[in-house]
């Protein structure tokens, strides 16, 4: 399931300035290994939620935080991680982020309690926020022209392969070794990425005239997202909208206002330049990404969980259930990208989410005795077709919606919004993760219907706000 995120991220590589390298092949392998950490971990942990909950006695909110403790620093600090690479050197930040991610993975594997697991997951998110943007920047800077297009295509294809294979391998490890083993999957690619980066990646000179890091903006973004996520987790769970949940939401909104004020005062030096939102198309694309990737994030969490808890699937079977999604997306997205190049991005980005909504409606047929091939597979097939129509045009649309000097910020923000969307969606899944038996199926249906409505909202944001760039 990493393929949609790979497609969302690839704009960051395409917008990098060319610096060249004497070892382009090894640089490509390095960036693939580093990026695989974030892609594999994000999808494999979803399959392990049921096992983690049973072993560590975690309730619904605890399971939500197993996912969101990782997504929170990743979404909040992704732009800051890229800026740090520009200022201090991309290779240094890539190695640092990868080392942090590897150490955090070991901490997760040996965590004696849920609290320690959440600490490890948070550290993984920090590592991913450092390695992801710098891995992509190194990839883009090492190739030029058609070679860059081929390299980014190979990188995205490998993301799709990992998205298909990772959950299956993780499910098998859960069934045979235990859930802790899924975190040890990260060690080999992390060690390989660090070794190859030190040997072959040319570390460009840090930009001495680069603006100071927007630490205040990063801190306020983290505070804002953390408070809102915590408040939504409580409010959407069994406890309901308690005074604590309401207070957290108010604090999150206050931090959001403070973040916007801070970013406005920094102007072009901000981690999120507000000038980006002067483009109606960029606003529409941001809303579309938030809504569509929110629905996708919910899908990635609830389908494996319900298959294991309600339908009696093994970890391997649940991990395999979503494999066709990644495969179809990898095969169909390039063709849809070509179509979007001829007809523009607006209509593919409008029709794609509507098809995804139809797929979510097909999930209403799922019950405790679900037949994979006659019930679940058709829904996955339809959703994959819809996402294929959206993810490829999204990259082009983001880059063309702002002026050239803002393409780096725009692509980075779009990637951060995609991760934040998954975090918000997970925070709202307390009803599903806290239910059992027939109530679990009923909550699953409610979530599927809500995701369908959200996808219609994504289509509306495209239709009413996105304007195709004039053809030259």
Find where tokens 């990635």 sit: 300
Residue 15 binned pLDDT confidence (cut-offs 50, 70, 90): low
3-state secondary structure of 401: coil
What does residue 365 show for φ and ψ, rounded to 5 degrees? -85, -10
What per-residue confidence (pLDDT) applies to 11? 63
Is-contact 421 290, C-beta < 8 A?
yes
Find where tokens 């994000």 sit: 42
Burial bucket for residue 369 (CB in 10 Å: 0-12, 13-18, 19+): exposed
What per-residue confidence (pLDDT) applies to 22? 72
| Residue 8 pLDDT exceeds 50 | yes
- Identify how many contiguous H helices and E strands the chain contains and give both numbers: 18, 0
The alpha carbon of residue 290 and the mean position of all alpha carbons in its chain are separated, in whole angstroms, by 11
What per-residue confidence (pLDDT) applies to 70? 93
Give percent of the chain above pLDDT 70: 91
Angular region, 344: left φ>0, alpha ψ -120 to 50, beta rest: left
What per-residue confidence (pLDDT) applies to 158? 81
How far apart are the C-alpha atoms of 224 and 306, rounded to whole Å?
Answer: 31
Residue 152 vs residues 42, 61, 171, 282: alpha-carbon distances, Å: 21, 37, 29, 23
How far apart are the C-alpha atoms of 299 and 297, rounded to whole Å?
Answer: 5
For the chain, the first-to-last Cα distance in angstroms comes to 35
Instruction: List, for residues 174-230, the tens digit of each pLDDT value.
Output: 999 999 999 999 999 999 999 999 998 876 666 566 667 888 999 999 999 999 999
**Of residues 182, 186, 149, the one with CA closest to residue 33:** 186
What per-residue confidence (pLDDT) applies to 18? 52
Give percent of the chain above pLDDT 90: 56
Q: What is the dihedral of CA 86, 88, 91, 95, to 10 degrees?
A: -120
The CATH code belonging to domain 3-214+271-465 is: 1.20.1250.20
Residue 332 binned pLDDT confidence (cut-offs 50, 70, 90): confident
The alpha carbon of residue 472 and the mean position of all alpha carbons in its chain are separated, in whole angstroms, by 33
203 vs 33, more confident: 33
Residue 343 binned pLDDT confidence (cut-offs 50, 70, 90): confident
What per-residue confidence (pLDDT) applies to 327? 85
How far apart are the C-alpha atoms of 274 and 272, rounded to whole Å?
Answer: 6
**Of residues 395, 407, 394, 393, the one with CA closest to residue 275:** 407
Instruction: List, for residues 406-465, the tens digit of each pLDDT value.
Output: 777 788 888 889 889 999 999 999 989 999 989 999 999 999 999 999 999 999 999 999
What per-residue confidence (pLDDT) applies to 463? 93
| Residue 89 pLDDT exceeds 50 | yes
| Residue 388 pLDDT exceeds 70 | yes
460: Cβ–Cβ under 8 A, 6 or more apart, which residues? none
Residue 472 binned pLDDT confidence (cut-offs 50, 70, 90): very low
What per-residue confidence (pLDDT) applies to 44? 87
What does residue 454 show for φ and ψ, rounded to 5 degrees? -60, -40
**Of residues 159, 136, 113, the one with CA closest to residue 6:** 159
pTM: 0.90
327 token code pair: 């495969």
What per-residue confidence (pLDDT) applies to 337? 65
**Mean local confidence (pLDDT), 36-42:** 81
The alpha carbon of residue 269 and the mean position of all alpha carbons in its chain are separated, in whole angstroms, by 25
97 vs 322, more confident: 97
95 token code pair: 């190695």
Is-contact 68 426, C-beta < 8 A?
yes
What per-residue confidence (pLDDT) applies to 1? 53
Is-contact 219 148, C-beta < 8 A?
no
Instruction: List, for residues 131-179, the tens digit of each pLDDT value.
Output: 988 888 888 778 777 777 778 778 877 877 787 788 899 999 999 999 9
What per-residue confidence (pLDDT) applies to 458? 96
40 vs 350, more confident: 350
What per-residue confidence (pLDDT) applies to 38? 82
4 token code pair: 């949609």
For helices 145-176 and 24-56, the axis angle rounded to 10 degrees is: 30
Find where tokens 């604090």 sit: 251
Find where tokens 């045979």 sit: 176
Is-contact 138 201, C-beta < 8 A?
yes
How far apart are the C-alpha atoms of 42 and 74, rounded to whole Å?
Answer: 11
Find where tokens 């390298």 sit: 21
**Mean local confidence (pLDDT), 73-89:** 87
Mean pLDDT of the chain: 87
How far apart are the C-alpha atoms of 457 and 375, rounded to whole Å?
Answer: 25
How far apart are the C-alpha atoms of 67 and 421, rounded to whole Å?
Answer: 12
Q: What is the DSSP string of 196-225?
A: HHHHH---PPP-TTSPPP-HHHHHHHHHHH
């Amino acid at each position: 399931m990493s393929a949609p995120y790979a497609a969302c991220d690839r704009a960051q590589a395409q917008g990098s300035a060319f610096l060249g390298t004497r070892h382009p092949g090894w640089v490509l392998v390095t960036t693939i290994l580093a990026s695989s950490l974030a892609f594999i971990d994000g999808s494999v942990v979803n399959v392990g939620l049921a096992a983690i909950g049973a072993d560590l006695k975690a309730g619904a909110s605890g399971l939500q935080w197993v996912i969101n403790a990782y997504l929170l620093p990743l979404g909040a600090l992704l732009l800051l991680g890229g800026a740090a690479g520009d200022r201090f050197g991309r290779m240094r930040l890539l190695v640092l982020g990868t080392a942090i991610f590897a150490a955090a993975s070991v901490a997760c594997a040996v965590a004696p309690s849920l609290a320690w697991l959440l600490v490890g997951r948070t550290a993984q998110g920090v590592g991913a926020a450092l390695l992801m943007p710098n891995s992509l920047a190194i990839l883009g800077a090492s190739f030029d022209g058609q070679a860059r297009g081929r390299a980014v295509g190979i990188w995205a294809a490998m993301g799709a392969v990992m998205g298909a294979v990772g959950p299956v391998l993780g499910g098998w490890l859960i069934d045979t070794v235990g859930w802790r083993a899924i975190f040890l999957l990260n060690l080999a690619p992390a060690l390989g990425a660090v070794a190859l980066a030190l040997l072959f990646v040319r570390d460009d000179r840090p930009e001495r005239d680069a603006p100071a890091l927007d630490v205040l903006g990063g801190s306020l973004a983290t505070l804002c997202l953390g408070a809102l996520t915590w408040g939504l987790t409580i409010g959407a769970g069994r406890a309901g909208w308690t005074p604590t949940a309401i207070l957290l939401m108010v604090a999150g909104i206050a931090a959001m206002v403070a973040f916007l004020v801070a970013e406005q005062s920094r102007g072009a030096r901000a981690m999120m330049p507000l000038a980006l939102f002067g483009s109606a198309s960029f606003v529409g694309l941001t809303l579309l990404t938030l809504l569509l990737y929110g629905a996708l994030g919910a899908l990635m969490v609830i389908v494996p969980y319900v298959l294991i808890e309600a339908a009696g699937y093994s970890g391997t079977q649940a991990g395999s259930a979503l494999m066709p999604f990644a495969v179809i997306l990898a095969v169909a997205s390039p063709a849809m990208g070509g179509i979007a190049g001829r007809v523009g991005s607006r209509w593919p980005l409008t029709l794609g989410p509507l098809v995804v909504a139809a797929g979510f409606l097909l999930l209403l047929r799922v019950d405790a005795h679900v037949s994979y091939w006659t019930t679940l597979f058709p829904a996955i097939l339809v959703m994959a077709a819809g996402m294929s129509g959206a993810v490829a045009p999204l990259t082009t649309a983001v880059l063309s919606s702002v002026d050239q000097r803002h393409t780096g910020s725009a692509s980075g923000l779009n990637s951060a919004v995609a991760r934040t969307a998954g975090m918000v969606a997970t925070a709202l899944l307390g009803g599903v993760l806290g239910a059992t038996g027939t109530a679990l199926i009923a909550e699953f249906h409610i979530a599927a219907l809500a995701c369908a409505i959200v996808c219609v909202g994504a289509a509306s944001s495209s239709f009413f706000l996105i304007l195709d760039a004039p053809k030259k």
